[in-house]
Amino acid sequence: MIVDDEPFLCIGGELHNSSSSDRRYMAPLWEKIAATNANSVIATVAWDQVEPEEGLFDFSVVDGLLEDARTAGLRLVIIWFGAFKNASSTYAPSWVRRDTARFPRADRGAEPMRTPFSYKGSMPRPTLSVFSNDLFEADKAAYCRLMKHLGEADPQHTVIMVQVENEVGLLGAGRDRSAAALAAWNSPVPEVLRKALANDQGTFDPSLADVLRPIVTSEASWEAHFGDGNPVADEVFMACAFAGYVGGLAAAGKEILGIPAYANAWLGPQPGQELPGNYPSGGPTARVLPVWQAVAPSLDFLAPDIYVPNSADIMEQYASPGNPLFIPEARFRAGDAFLAVGRFGGFGYHVFGLEDARPGNQYGEACRAILSLTRDIVDAQRDGGIFGFALEQDDDGVDAGFGGITVSIRNAAKLYTAMLLDAGVVLPPPPELPGETEGAAHGHTPGDNRPFGLVIQLGPLEFLVVGQGALFDFHQADSALEVDSVLELRLTPEGWEEGRLLNGDERLQVLQSDRISASRIRLLSIGQD
């Protein structure tokens, strides 16, 4: 990503849903957010707040965001909370939700599924039908007015991207059965999807491609192809609808203001949410990414919100040459930020609820460390000279290849403990790291005690390592390698500066175990006959 002609790693956090709706609420928080060392904040703009009556717009909340973010030295990514947020429509204005004839609701059928975040006796959440053209036109009109206002009010490019809607899809059923949805179900499968499957079948999940294969040679309707009760077809049908809706908004907005636009995903399937409808059916989940890319080419990328433990698997699913990795929402887990930019070429990572961060938290130090290496990281991403890691406690280690050199990355504490055991010394367990947040809505968030970090190749026999708790060994097939020198680096307000020359026992702690640190390692090649 390029911002004002310079490479930009977008590292920071997302505000809670309602924080940005009140400038006075945010006033004491901007300084705290800036102290986290983030360079970007994802903040919401809600349709019901900026267009409380049809055609009457009030962008004062946007102007306050722009001014306060600039003062804090932060860039903004705006989320448009339009007709859809987390598969419901609570941010649509009253005048939209009230008029069910003009703006019909989604129909989940006679027996809707049980959905997350519901309970017995809870009031229903409104869910508008994505198949309503009137809804699309009203949402588009408001979104385009926002883009026009940003173009006029933000010549400084404080806003660098827009997320269009939030975690779209349908909960409670695999597909919408409203009148407009049934009309679409009985219409031919869109030609753009048929062509994508015919020309790029290898990009489709095999289980999805097997079900969809008949559409390639037939112009029949969804109903004729799949009938009722096919969850894969239902999800793809809804994906075409939501991608067309969100992509249509993005395309219209870009005609006014040409900044990147993306959509984010509530992940699925996942444990406890195995079927479309248990998770939002039609959202940009991993297996329907090719559907979204075909139907919504105006979206620059599709992004996962990651709250599951297998974060590396999710990053791998979304990172590809045609879909650069950007993570708009995630837990406070410092190691995952290193993993995203180092292993998967990511250009953005954001924790959710940044305003909850405890002063001096670990993730803030990760932001500072990563952003101080922006040029090195971007160059290494381009050249393939970077590797990110985050070792789970059961991992023995991981190897990374850099040309003819293999770097073995291991858990330093586990190795050190084993070595001391051999000498008859037993170490007490390490203390728990301080919590990352204070007063967080999502409960206590512990610090990340995994070994994590980056390895960046600076030259044929020179490497930069940054992170915590890892030990490194280097191997080459045609010659023996040994460590020539290890130069400790200290992170200052001006960036990384040279520190101690590490040798002896200190080489067992090239990276500190309890804080993020860095070292520059030079190797000596000992030729072999």
Residue 441 structure tokens: 């809505």
| Residue 412 and residue 517 in contact, taking contact as beta carbons nearer than 8 Å | no
Which strand (E) or helix (H) includes residue 43?
strand 40-46
Q: What is the pLDDT of residue 77?
A: 98
| Residue 199 and residue 260 in contact, taking contact as beta carbons nearer than 8 Å | no
Residue in the structure block whose two tokens are 């954001």: 350
Distances (CA, A) of 13 to 33, 179, 207, 261, 372: 9, 40, 35, 18, 17
* One pLDDT digit (tens) per residue for the chain, 529 residues: 999 999 999 999 999 999 999 999 999 999 999 999 999 999 999 999 999 999 999 999 999 999 999 999 999 999 999 999 999 999 999 999 999 999 999 999 988 887 777 788 888 889 999 999 999 999 999 999 999 999 999 999 999 999 999 999 999 999 999 999 999 999 999 999 999 999 988 899 998 999 999 999 999 999 999 999 999 999 999 999 999 999 999 999 999 999 999 999 999 999 989 999 999 999 999 999 999 999 999 999 999 999 999 999 999 999 999 999 999 999 999 999 999 999 999 999 999 999 999 999 999 999 999 999 999 999 999 999 999 999 998 888 999 999 999 999 999 888 877 766 566 665 677 777 888 998 766 677 889 999 999 999 999 999 999 999 999 999 998 889 999 999 999 999 888 999 999 999 888 889 998 899 999 999 999 875 4
Buried-exposed string 56-88: b where 16+ CB fall within 10 A, e elsewhere: ebebebbebbbebbeebebbbbbbbbbbbbbbb
Distances (CA, A) of 113 to 174, 247, 386: 9, 28, 45
Residue 19 structure tokens: 């924080």
**Closest to 463 (Cα-Cα) out of 482, 481, 486, 479:** 486
Q: What is the pLDDT of residue 193?
A: 97
Residue 360 structure tokens: 């001096």
Beta strands in 86-139 (DSSP E): none
Q: What is the pLDDT of residue 441?
A: 66
SS3 content of the chain, % helix, strand, coil (to 5): 35, 25, 40
Q: What is the pLDDT of residue 24?
A: 97
Rg of the Cα trace of the chain?
A: 25
**Residue 487 phi, psi (nearest 5):** -105, 115
**Closest to 222 (Cα-Cα) out of 286, 268, 265, 176:** 176
Exposed, middle or buried: residue 306 (CB in 10 Å: 0-12, 13-18, 19+)? buried
Is this model's pTM higher than 0.75 or not? yes
Q: What is the pLDDT of residue 161?
A: 98
Phi-psi region of 517 (alpha: psi -120 to 50; beta: other; left: phi over 0): beta
Q: What is the pLDDT of residue 425?
A: 61
